[in-house]
Chains A and B, each alone.
Chain A
Amino acid sequence: MGKYVLKRLLYIVVVFLILSFMIYMIYNMLPIDKAAEMAHNEIKANRLLNYDERYQFWQEKLGLNGTKIERYLRWLGVYPYADGSYNGLFQGNLGQSSQYGKPVSEVIIEPMKNTIFINIFSVILALGITIPLGIFCAVKRGSKRDVGVQVGTLVGYSLPTFIVAIVFIWLFAVVLGWFPVSGMQTAGSLEWSSWDRFWDKMYHLSLPLIVMTFTSLGGMTRYVRASMIEALSMDCIRTARAKGLRERVVIYSHAWRNALLPVTILIIGWFLSIFSGSLMIENIFALNGIGRTYYTALQASDNEIVLALQMFYISISLVGNLLTDLIYGLVDPRIRVNK
């Protein structure tokens, strides 16, 4: 097992490097010259300066001189700047956001908290609904209620998030007026007590959370149902029933445990993919999450944030892959042997 884990870890690092190189090169295709921009600004303020000299100064300062490979390595933090210092991704430096005038790591902290909060909350909500529903459908397979749920989930996973969001906004925010249309807090709520502020935030987040949960219901329920059906058709279930065990015990103790593995793996993959999935929700509801930060940074050409968040998304998905692999390897010895 140790060898397997090591192998996977090594492999993840290689993939990360390849992907970061790819992303960096794509990013380099953008017609942006920060050094020239800085030099221009300086010349504007003080006309006596020499442009070429200032340009070179900024290039060296920002680490933009040299070939693309050199710049990439410098950005990673394994190649020195002109003054011999290392300052890159590995040193925790994500660059300076041109939009906010702050280091990127500072800018993305608050949105990151929000996004994680929203995602964990919606995952818990979704699991709380889908697992019982999926089990129920699998047990009552072929009944009218099962068919109804099947049709409902089919519609659910066929609809794009934004359509669900628009319909829900129309229904719950516009027609019924239960929830605010967008935003994360009431204006002027900063002076409120922290308890009131928390409830205000929850009030604003409820509609996005409902939408997120609703959109994930379809696929998850179907998956839980499918793996539960598979588990129920196992021989051990027949044996358990033949033994005269109560149906409850058969379902929850024998079948569900067998169905748990694929479901767990799905949940991990899904939980990690939801980070990029919440991009849509955050934009529709104007929530201050990393998805929205990414979107506005792209629109405003704030490329340091784009690059940093892109790397974050990639790391998340790599970690997800690693976790899935490890759990598979842990549970199913054949996989370890095969690779």
Chain B
Amino acid sequence: MSKEKNQDTRKGFFATLGRWGRRMFFGASKELTMDEMLAVEKLESPSRLAVKAFFRRKLAVVALIVLVSLFLFVFIGPLAVPMDLNYTDPLQANIAPNYSFLKVPGELENNIKNINGFADFTVGVSKDNDFFLWGNTKNTLTNVDFEIYPEEIQPGKIAHAAAGSDHIMVITTDGKLVGWGNSNNGQYGIVKNETDPYIQMPDHLLNGTIDPDQVKQLIAGYQCNVLVMKDGTMSVWGNKNAMLSLDEMNRKFTEGIEKVALSNYYAIMLREDGTVSGGQTLTFNMQSAYSTADGNIKNLRTYLKDRTVQDIAATNNCYALVMDDGSLVVFGAAEYGEKDVPTLPNGEKFAEIYAGTRHFVAISDAGNVYAWGHNDGGQTEVNGMSADQIFTGSKQTYLVNAEGELTEKVGFKGYLMGTDGRGRDVFTRIIHGGKMTMTVGAVAVIVSTIIAIIVGCVSGYFGGWVDMLLMRITEIFSSIPFLPFAMLLSYVIRTKPIPETTRIIIIMFMLGILSWTGLAKMIRGQVLAEREKEFVIAAQSMGVKEKRIAFKHILPNVISVILVSLTLDFAGCLLTESSLSYLGFGVQQPQPTWGNMLDGANNSLVIQNYWWQWVFPAIFLAVATISINIIGDTLRDVLDPKSSQER
């Protein structure tokens, strides 16, 4: 280093000038000798010492890393994982953590005869007549395990299979109909009680056998089943109260049926003559105004009058018809763009249509695949591909070629942390809830700290009647019992017509305004104590300005108190927010927070059966508060010179 320095000086005048310039802006530290550098190290500022001491403690560093990653997780996470606040799906409710929704078994992959899914599990039949099952196959509440097959289910003996909301229906190669899963609502045809609103499986199916080759379509829906034979006869069985069209289908539509599509509560039927009917229950839907592709608004029924329909499909709430001219008609209640039918290139026509819970997939006559609708799991990302056959699960799309080989599978892979009682992904809600919890906590603690600093400093610095007044106000606020008062305020706010965001902001400020008193008293005491100390008197006698004394001599001593309290209060605010939300007086559903996500865990049913609904939010909340408290404790130790000397 010294050699370089010598060379440097030899270079002459300009180098010296340059060095001076460098010194002017960056200081002379580079040219210090070793001794001088050590001297500088000895004179390190207390704050740097504190930082060093902090980083010497392993636990605190771990806590800091955990906290920072949690922060990144909840503040960057929402950008990566968007959340649909009002999304609910009863078919996806209370699913345990499961990531196998798209895991088509290997033996099935190149040998597909049929794939069918309605809710959270999917069934498949291979060309070798083997039966496969994937997805969420266990229901914790009813203890139904779909993987426990009835004895009729043998390899190589399954001809048709259909998955419903909570049951599976299968036709064996012997022509026997077998169902398993949840049977409480007559899902697979056996009605124990005459008065139940269930339709029993027709006798010839229940006790006899059918020719599996004559089966045109077997589908299962929300606690119901439909079997269409090649001669056009249709049989239905299941729960009339779940599937509202079921009774009418059973009475009126028994013959001449080509295909049936089930939405959540209704059915739409394609007759052999190409007409479409939804029965009485769908009449209203079909009479509603329908705007055709060329912009005319028409009554759908008159529009369909002289045309024939080629294919039908139904999502939960929407129905799609492929007309004989290759155009597509979608009607029903679209929530997620089910009606945004893509326009085909010139000359291409829609040929077939398939539907998941909230998305449609269509094949054109050129063999191209088009998909639209809800894309929460990527189930519509198949545009531009080609396929010969398409199968859909609830949120999955499977493209299969003519040989029965799976060419592409896209869609929802599963729930990392399960779903809650309304079918919402717990993981997504934890990310977004964390953002809300952290924001509420941070804003509350900043508000309370600002109030405390102002009150404490003014009170301690000015003294006299200002101090007297402020301290009385502080004591009034500190006499307010926190939880009951916050509940009352929150309740009052709830009765006012305020938008949700404003309400949340009010809650943040409310928490802050109710919790500043402790810190204010501490700051006041500290300021009072520091003012009387010798170094302040010394500074005063040396003629240092009052302002400089306040900021250079007193404030640094108070800052450590503020910093420690800021950290510890942050944890406190997280806890109070989640307690309030847990009691239902904080942030309200559907807006998630870690507290109100645990709201549902207030009964033994949830605690026992749906552990993932409370374990994960609780872990996140606990980890956050524990690490914040560790950091706060360490800060207190580190910033307090007395305690560090003792150690």
Contact B604 A169 (CB under 8 A): yes
* B618–A167 touching, CB < 8 Å: yes
Task: List, sorted by A's number, 28 A–B pairs whose CB atoms are closer than 8 Å.
Answer: A15-B472, A15-B475, A19-B480, A23-B488, A27-B488, A30-B495, A154-B633, A158-B625, A159-B625, A160-B625, A162-B582, A163-B598, A166-B607, A166-B614, A166-B618, A170-B607, A173-B604, A174-B604, A233-B646, A276-B481, A280-B579, A294-B487, A295-B487, A295-B583, A298-B487, A298-B585, A310-B485, A313-B485
In the complex the two chains form, is A279's CB within 8 Å of B618's CB?
A: no
Alpha-carbon distance A295/B585, docked complex (angstroms): 10
A316 & B607 in contact (Cβ 8 Å cutoff)? no
Nearest B-chain residue to A295, judged by Cβ? B583
When C-beta atoms are compared, the residue in chain A nearest to B623 turns out to be A158
- CB <8 Å contact, A284 and B602: yes
Counting from the closest, the 10 A-B pairs by CB-CB distance are A313-B481, A158-B626, A158-B625, A181-B604, A276-B481, A163-B618, A174-B608, A158-B629, A160-B575, A276-B483
Residue in B481, B483, B487, B625 whose beta carbon sits within 8 Å of that of A316 in the complex: B481
Bound complex: CA A182 to CA B604 (Å) = 9
Question: What's the minimum C-beta distance from B451 to chain A, rounded to whole angstroms?
Answer: 17
Contact with B along A258-279 (1 / 0, CB 8 A): 0000000000000001011101
A284 and B607 CA atoms in complex are apart in Å by 12
B571: Cβ under 8 A from any A Cβ: yes
Task: Specify which chain A residues have a CB less than 8 angstroms from the CB of B595 in the assembled complex.
Answer: 160
Asked if A294 contacts B607 (CB within 8 A), the reply is no
Which of A159-205 touch B at CB < 8 Å?
A: 159-163, 166-167, 169-170, 173-174, 181-182
Residue among B482, B484, B603, B629 with the highest chain A CB neighbour number at 10 A = B484
Query: Residues of A contacting B495 with CB < 8 Å?
Result: 29-31
Q: Report the count of interface residues on A (CB-CB < 8 A).
A: 49
A286, chain B: closest CB distance, angstroms: 10
Distance (Å) between the CB of B472 and the closest chain A CB? 8
Cβ–Cβ contact B476 & A18, under 8 A: yes
Separation in Å of the B469 CB from the closest CB of chain A?
13
**Alpha-carbon separation in the docked complex, A294 to B492 (Å):** 14
Which residue of A15, A157, A166 has the most chain B CB atoms within 10 A of its CB atom? A166
Q: Known: A166-B618, A298-B491, A310-B485. Is A19-B598 also a contact (CB below 8 A)?
A: no
What residues of A have a CB within 8 angstroms of the CB of B282 in the complex? none
Shortest distance from the beta carbon of A101 to any chain B beta carbon, whole Å:
22
Interface secondary structure of B, over-half rule: helix
Cβ-closest chain B residue relative to A159: B622
Within 8 A of A (CB), among B520-554: none
A317 touches B583 (CB 8 A): no
Q: Is B40 an interface residue (CB 8 A)?
A: no
Which residues of chain A in 124-173 are interfacial with respect to chain B, using CB atoms and an 8 Å cutoff? 154-155, 157-163, 166-167, 169-170, 173
Known contacts A162-B579, A298-B487: A154-B618 contact under CB 8 Å = no
Q: Are A29 and B492 in contact (CB under 8 A)?
A: yes
Q: List residues 220-270 of chain B with CB under 8 A from any CB of chain A.
A: none
How long is the Cα–Cα vector from A306 to B604 in the complex, in angstroms?
28
CB of A170 within 8 A of CB of B630, answer: no
Residues of A within 8 A of B614 (CB): 166
Known A158-B622, A160-B578, A160-B625; contact A280-B483, beta-carbon cutoff 8 A: yes
Q: List, in ascending order, chain B residues with CB within 8 A of A310's CB.
A: 481, 484-485, 488
| A321 close to B (CB within 8 Å) | yes
User: Does residue A48 face the partner (Cβ distance < 8 Å to B)?
Assistant: no
Roughly how many angstroms separate A318 CA and B628 CA in the complex, as a whole number? Answer: 31
Q: A30-B495, A166-B614, A280-B583 known; A158 and B476 CB under 8 Å?
A: no
Report the bound CA distance from A317 to B472 in whole Å.
Answer: 15
Taking the complex as formed, is A323 at the interface, i.e. its CB lies under 8 A from any CB of chain B? no
For A158, list chain B residues within 8 Å (CB): 571, 622, 625-626, 628-629
Determine the chain B residues whose CB is within 8 A of the CB of A298 once the complex forms: 487-488, 491, 585
B2 interface contact, C-beta 8 A: no
Given contacts A15-B479, A158-B625, A174-B608, contact A279 B484 (CB under 8 A): yes
Question: Are A163 and B484 CB-contacts (below 8 A) given A158-B629, A283-B583, A321-B479?
Answer: no
B601 contacts chain A at the CB level, 8 A cutoff: yes
Q: Give CA–CA (A295, B614) in the complex, Å.
A: 22
Q: What residues on A are CB-neighbors of B484 within 8 Å? A: 276, 279, 294, 309-310, 313
Q: In the complex, are the beta carbons of A317 and B479 less than 8 A apart?
A: yes
Q: Contacts A155-B626, A161-B579, A284-B602: A30 and B481 contacting too (C-beta < 8 A)?
A: no
Question: Does chain B have a CB within 8 A of A6?
Answer: no
The 0/1 profile, CB within 8 Å of A marked 1, for residues 117-143 of chain B is 000000000000000000000000000
Please measure, in the bound complex, the distance between the C-alpha atom of A137 and the C-alpha atom of B439, giving whole angstroms: 37
The answer to whether the Cβ of B454 comes within 8 Å of any Cβ in the partner chain is no
Bound Cα distance from A99 to B584, whole angstroms: 20
Q: Does A26 contact B (CB under 8 A)?
A: yes
User: Given A154-B630, A276-B481, A306-B488, A169–B607 Cβ distance below 8 Å?
Assistant: yes
